[in-house]
Amino acid sequence: MSKLERNWQYTEQYPTETDVLVRARRVSLELGIEPVSRSVSSQLSALAVLTGARAICEIGTGVGVSGLSLLRHRPDAILTSIEIEPEYLKEARAMFAEAGIPASRARLVEGDARHIMPRLNLAAYDLVVLDADQAQLLEYFEHALGIVRPGGAILVPGALSHGRVPDPASRDEATQALRDLLAVVAESNAVTASLSPAGDGLLTVVRLDGYR
């Protein structure tokens, strides 16, 4: 095992998780959903605190692993989470209730985010998490830039797509969409971005004040 592999393994094992997060992770896997890794979960928690996030929008609720992470240390934050699969939302509601998070703080919305995001208030969110269909990422990102406040951040878990993004032989639609998004944010003067290799990659894009 190389030093980089040891570092990655240690990073994944380091964070602690609540009992509810552990259960949500297990149920996710049982339903065939790949939740964010433990290291990415801890980064979501930290970023929510660092940004002082009070209004968070998430695309792709799943069973609630990311949402629970975002609200873990932000008792005054409100999460609006959009999910197209009703079965996932049913499980997520149970997980948030078990964690003691009332429905008024975890607003779970069933539907297609491409139709819902244009109806959300502009510059109203401190954090926007895009953890849904990667093939639609550029469309989600365009909407996210409108609803995140200046100085707020857009987070994209799974940004390395299991090593496919840096592999030139990988040319599937989802991988290409990720590459296109990474190219767009790297060249944009409206944002500043960082790419972490933790988990399956976490792209953090901060909207600059001058964006219109």
Number of domains making up the chain: 1
Per residue in 144-173, pLDDT (tens digit) is 999 999 999 999 999 999 999 999 999 999
Q: What value does the mean pLDDT take over residues 119-146? A: 96
Element (H, E) at 21: helix 19-30
Higher pLDDT, 8 or 170: 170
Pair 147, 128: CB distance under 8 Å: yes
Residue ranges making up the domain that contains 147: 3-207
CA max distance for the chain: 49
Helix, strand, or coil (residue 193):
strand
Per the domain annotation, does 197 fall within a domain?
yes
The pLDDT tens digits for 30-78 are 999 999 999 999 999 999 999 999 999 999 999 999 999 999 999 999 9
Q: What's the pTM value of the predicted model, to 2 decimals?
A: 0.95
Question: Would 212 be classed as within a structural domain?
Answer: no
Q: Give the domain CATH number at 33.
A: 3.40.50.150
Q: Which pLDDT value is given to residue 211? A: 55
Domain annotation covers residue 53: yes
Counting every residue, how long is the chain?
212
Rounded distance between C-alpha atoms, residue 138 and residue 185, angstroms: 10
Mind listing the pLDDT tens digit for each residue in 89-100?
Answer: 999 999 999 999
